[in-house]
């Protein structure tokens, strides 16, 4: 390609997407392959574009341009259960081909991005995702690179993948004497159902019970007997005298991985395993913070059988103030 003044580019083939950027956002001005007209000259100048790349006949076989680089590198980095779609302006999208949990090789991603010319930009590892969701972007900084330099980047493979859900059936146990007696309406079931619907999970058991240790134990067992592969228990998670959920889960014989997690909101969360079946118990705060809470953080992982360790949970304090948390300053 050759770089020429826009006045001299009339009748030539544009070799590079040009973009308009304003207060109303960014948009494609003229696409690669467009034949430049006299009318285009003023449009380009109005957008601050006074020089353009035009296609030439002297392209070096040793040179790759950004649109080629992005797609080639993205296909190398994209791992299991992902696919690649080319995007504009030296980018390529990596999308999930299934519902599951995003898994990033963070150490290798950091090493890859040190190359400084081509970047892999992703969503956070261990995030729940759905089919066709954007999970990564490969973005190229220079217009072109030598082919051997691009090939050097292709040694980084399968940095981004999606782990499928191995569990699909959940049970819901809503605790709270005030709900059981009809004094308050249950608001948790719709929150959990919305998340289950998003990921394609089936609710096979749901019940409302009072704050009674034996009834909680019985309800969890019934959920598992009815086919639940993971059980979500809500309420009764604090230290009030009527809060019985953590005691019941321990007395059930479950192995507790964590009681209390370093995230806000819904810090009072318990993760446990009962003969291999995950139990996620969460405080009532998940109703107020229904958009994003411990259910969103942990349930997709549990459904993909990616059981977090105590060390992993401890590290969640970094970034543990979730976007949904409402900070209220008190004086």
- β-bridge partners, 51: 5
Whether residue 43 is predicted with pLDDT greater than 90 in this model: the reply is no
Residue 196 DSSP SS3? helix
Q: Whole-angstrom Cα distance, residue 162 to residue 107?
A: 17
Whether residue 57 is predicted with pLDDT greater than 70 in this model: the reply is no
Least confident of 17-21, 44-48, 132-136, 224-228: 17-21
* Fold assignment, 2-54: Molybdopterin biosynthesis moea protein, domain 2 (3.90.105)
pLDDT at 60 (0 to 100)? 55
pLDDT at 196 (0 to 100)? 98
70-117 per-position pLDDT tens digit: 999 999 999 999 999 999 878 999 999 999 999 999 999 999 999 999
247-263 per-position pLDDT tens digit: 999 999 999 999 999 99
330: confidence class by pLDDT, cuts 50, 70, 90: low
pLDDT at 99 (0 to 100)? 98
Q: Nearest to residue 261, comparing CAs of 271, 253, 252?
A: 271
Pick the CATH number of 63-164 from 3.90.1170.30, 3.30.830.10, 3.30.450.40, 3.30.70.260: 3.90.1170.30
204-222 per-position pLDDT tens digit: 999 999 999 999 999 999 9
Q: Whole-angstrom Cα distance, residue 235 to residue 285?
A: 8
Cβ pair 94, 81 in contact under 8 A: no
125-183 per-position pLDDT tens digit: 999 999 999 999 999 999 889 999 999 999 999 999 999 999 999 999 999 999 999 99
276-320 per-position pLDDT tens digit: 999 999 999 999 999 999 999 999 999 999 999 999 999 999 999
Check if CATH label 3.40.980.10 holds for domain 169-315.
yes
Alpha helices in the chain (DSSP H): 38-46, 66-77, 106-113, 147-153, 177-180, 188-199, 213-225, 245-251, 285-288, 294-303, 310-315
Percentage of residues in the chain having pLDDT higher than 90: 73
Q: Whole-angstrom Cα distance, residue 308 to residue 301?
A: 8
Q: Whole-angstrom Cα distance, residue 250 to residue 107?
A: 36
Whether residue 27 is predicted with pLDDT greater than 60 in this model: the reply is yes
Q: What is the mean pLDDT of residues 53-81?
A: 85
pLDDT at 230 (0 to 100)? 98
Residue spans of the domains in the chain: they are 2-54, 63-164, 169-315
Percentage of residues in the chain having pLDDT higher than 70: 95
């Amino acid at each position: 390609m050759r770089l020429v003044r826009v006045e001299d580019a009339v009748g030539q083939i544009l070799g590079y997407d040009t973009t308009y950027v304003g207060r109303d956002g960014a948009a494609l001005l003229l696409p690669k392959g467009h034949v430049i007209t006299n009318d285009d000259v003023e449009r380009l100048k109005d957008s601050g574009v006074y020089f353009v790349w035009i296609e030439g006949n002297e392209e070096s076989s040793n040179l790759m341009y950004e649109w080629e680089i992005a797609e080639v590198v993205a296909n190398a980095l994209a791992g299991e259960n992902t696919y690649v779609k080319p995007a504009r302006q030296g980018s390529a999208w990596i999308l999930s081909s299934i519902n599951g949990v995003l898994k990033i090789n963070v150490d290798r991603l950091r090493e890859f991005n040190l190359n400084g010319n081509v970047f892999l930009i992703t969503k956070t590892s261990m995030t729940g995702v759905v089919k066709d969701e954007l999970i990564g972007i490969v973005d190229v900084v220079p217009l072109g690179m030598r082919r051997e330099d691009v090939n050097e980047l292709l040694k980084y493979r399968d940095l981004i993948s999606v782990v499928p859900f191995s569990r699909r059936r959940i049970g819901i146990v809503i605790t709270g004497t005030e709900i059981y007696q009809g004094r308050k309406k249950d608001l948790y079931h719709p929150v959990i159902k919305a998340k289950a619907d998003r990921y394609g999970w089936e609710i096979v058991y749901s019940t409302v019970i009072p704050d009674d240790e034996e009834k909680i134990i019985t309800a969890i067992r019934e959920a598992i007997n009815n086919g639940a592969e993971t059980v979500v228990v809500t309420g009764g998670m604090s230290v009030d005298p009527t809060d019985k959920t953590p005691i019941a889960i321990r007395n059930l014989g479950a192995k507790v991985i964590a009681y209390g997690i370093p995230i806000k909101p819904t810090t009072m969360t318990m993760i446990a395993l009962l003969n291999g079946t995950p139990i996620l118990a969460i405080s009532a705060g998940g109703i107020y913070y229904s958009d994003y809470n411990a259910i969103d953080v942990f349930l997709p992982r549990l459904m993909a059988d990616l059981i977090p360790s105590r060390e992993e949970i401890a590290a969640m304090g970094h970034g543990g103030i979730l976007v949904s948390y409402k900070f209220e300053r008190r004086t």
